[in-house]
Structure 1
């Protein structure tokens, strides 16, 4: 039967029955070819698969003794060798038939089957839209005629009739929209199923061993099939806007400052600045995952900077801590480096553990417990140092810990290591799974045997370790200069980076990659605005707008799920 006879002379639209008739000769040819291939594989490839499956079953079967298992497996391995020999003997012939099948599909499938269906789908969508618009016009016309009659009435009767007419009209238009959406989805499904027919045949030919091109074609088709513009904008709209902002900045900066913005040097500087902040973002991300937060991050950084600078200070300390001028120069530099790191981690972990305990034990919101930490830490550090900024650390220390190798700052490698470790903890450990479970639904997690208390405590302690490490690394980057005021506002930056990166305040939703992207976005934005000469106070405005936009989009996604 010719293709033209299968298409309606009125509108060129194929019915499902006509689609099957188009596919039938292709299937018939491929089935005949597949039977030849299956016959050649029967005693070779197919037999190998069956024997391997049998061997796995015997290995796991406790009814066999070890001796019996060895006997059975030895026999099967003998059969396996014979099957492999058959497979090898038939390989050339099978490969030839597979190539013949793929060549046939390439020559006939799209031309004789898939392209007519795609063209039919275009016509069907057009027809469905026209029908929907006609229906809406008809409903509107009837509604307006009904309103004209109702307007002749008066008083309560008129109000009641108007309300009823509007209710009926809205219901009819809603039903029409639902029918239209169903029709469009049906057209989309049929086109998608038509596409898959080809790869189902190839799947049998190649035993699911698709080529790179075939895998890519299927992934692209699945992406287009599942793509939803509304969902895409909800998920990625903020990133698109931020990309546009960076594009605009990269255009404006050369004209205003006579220099390119995203040079290699500037990108490296952004990555250097972002590296310590990634530790902070990873730390607070775990708390946000539990529907919490941490307002004390900035003060933790200030505390860590002071501690690190005091311990690694170049010569006797110029400032005093609780009235004591420390001089730790008698301690070898490597020991001072380790001591500074451990002290930062211990102090930060102590404070986050205190906040975690009150949050987990007494159900106090982290906003309160971490705000208390913020005040306590800032008060202690300011009181103990009298607000004095300490000087520089030993100049050789940064060269030992974060040297530049051929211009590449190795501080970035510390951040990469942290990302890998935290990713592993979140995704490959029991604690990580429990973290998501408690964040998603603490009551259900508790019923399933997960200790909500200890998961919360561990999340806070893990945050403390990361804060300590991040502040120690920042001290290296800045070569000291610790003060109580250092890190002010970093808590907001870290939280904002997580939110922009998709870590949801609704709990149980978030990825490490999102946190990293969020940190890089905010660091790059701050750096770019600084290069452009934008006032620091206005930079806060930009950040505030981005945060509100991110949280709004997150809330919209949550509402849709509900």
Structure 2
């Protein structure tokens, strides 16, 4: 009985090694830098996690069906640039469209729909390439990554974008139920991410589409024999993912107060790593929304800890790369152990 318990503890530590190490790192950081363990820093981490969680939710659907989406980061950048060019102040000197009329506050929502529609088109192409042409998702979405980046370069001419109207910035920086001197309020960004998480959880767990998605990830041939329209399901997954990238890019642009073609670069790798840390298997068929949230939170805490500890930015990239490799390696280890 004792031996069994030891083995279970050992397996737990190995399978969740990254989370354990990062929890210890957070404790050390809090001891060395007391400002790390403050409510203001917790809010900053939550605000950084929110758009990344939305993007990771999109990637998770692709991973669950044994696919991936390497175009996620570039779609985030495209959405941020597209929103930025359409939501600049009327009197901004470097306005991208000088003759664009000043529409009302409803225009902010309209621009969000435009971003979602544009990215959804690219997502549909991804789905068609993966499902009908049967191009491996890694290759298909890698090609789309370059296409979207090229489109963004052509559209913006690689020009940085800024001067956003206050109604757009308020989407990411505003707070709900704020009471001056008493309560800072709940950030809109947090509420939007919470709403997205709840919707995705419902889709994954309570709808036929969610069941089909897990069935495809478990055994695509068996799912197809059982009557699941695998091609249609995959297309829906990639379109939904692209729509979430658009929403994430829209919010990131509003939060940053500016955008460029390089915004979102590499975020797809962060999202894949976060999903894997949170238990979404790259081998398909396994994954929960709560796990995605934990993975994104862990990855963001890693970056914040390194910043507070004064680690050089160059070394931070090395640390993040190691986390990605280890996360995938542990996922493969768990997959092999189950076979």
Choose which of 328, 332, 345 in structure 1 pairs with 2:100.
328
The answer as to 2:131 corresponding to 1:360 is yes
Give the structure-2-normalised TM-score: 0.92
Q: Aligned-pair distance for 1:402?
A: 4.9
* Alpha-carbon separation, structure 2, partners of 1:552 and 1:234: 11
Aligned to 2:108: 337
Counterpart in 2 of 1:521?
A: 298
| Structure 1 residues 504 and 326: CA distance shift in structure 2, 3 A | farther
Report what 1:203 is aligned to: none
CA offset at residue 467 of structure 1?
A: 0.8
Moved more, 265-274 or 369-378: 369-378
Measure how far apart 1:460 and its partner are: 0.2
TM normalised by structure 1 equals 0.56
Q: Provide the aligned C-alpha RMSD in A.
A: 2.1
Partner of residue 416 from structure 1, selected from 173, 188, 194: 194
Q: Tell me how far apart the structure 2 counterparts of residues 407 and 450 of structure 1 sit (CA, whole Å).
A: 48
1:468 aligns with 2:246: yes
> CA offset at residue 417 of structure 1?
0.6
Change (3 A) 1:320 1:299: farther
- Cα distance in 1 for partners of 2:47, 2:309 equals 19
Determine the C-alpha separation between the residues in 2 that align with 1:449 and 1:430.
Answer: 12
**Count of residues in Structure 1 that have an aligned counterpart in Structure 2:** 332
CA distance in 1, matches of 2:304, 2:210: 33
* 8 Å contact from structure 2 (residues 72, 242) kept in 1: no
Give yes or no for the alignment of 1:371 onto 2:157. no
Instruction: Specify which structure has the bigger relative contact order, considering alpha-carbon pairs within 8 angstroms and separated by 6 or more residues.
Output: 2
Answering whether residue 58 of structure 2 is matched by residue 278 of structure 1, we say: no
Return closer, same or farther for 1:320/1:375 CA change in 2, 3 Å cut-off.
farther
1:503 match: secondary structure: coil
Where does residue 244 of structure 1 map in the other structure? 24
The equivalent of 2:307 in structure 1 is 530
Shift in alpha-carbon separation, 1:390–1:282, aligned structure 2, 3 A = same
SS in 2 for 1:359: helix
* Structure 2 residue 168 is the aligned partner of structure 1 residue 390: no
The residue number in structure 2 matching 1:448 is 226
Unaligned runs of 5+ in 2: none
Note the C-alpha offset of 1:400.
5.7
Query: Is the radius of gyration larger for structure 1 or structure 2?
Result: 1
Aligned residue number for residue 323 of structure 2: 546
Extract unaligned runs of 5+ from structure 1.
1-120, 126-183, 186-223
Shift of 1:464: 1.1
Bigger fraction of residues in helix: 1
Runs of 4+ in 1 over 6 A off after TM superposition: none
Instruction: Give matches, 1:86-105, under 5 Å.
Output: none
1:403 deviates by: 1.6
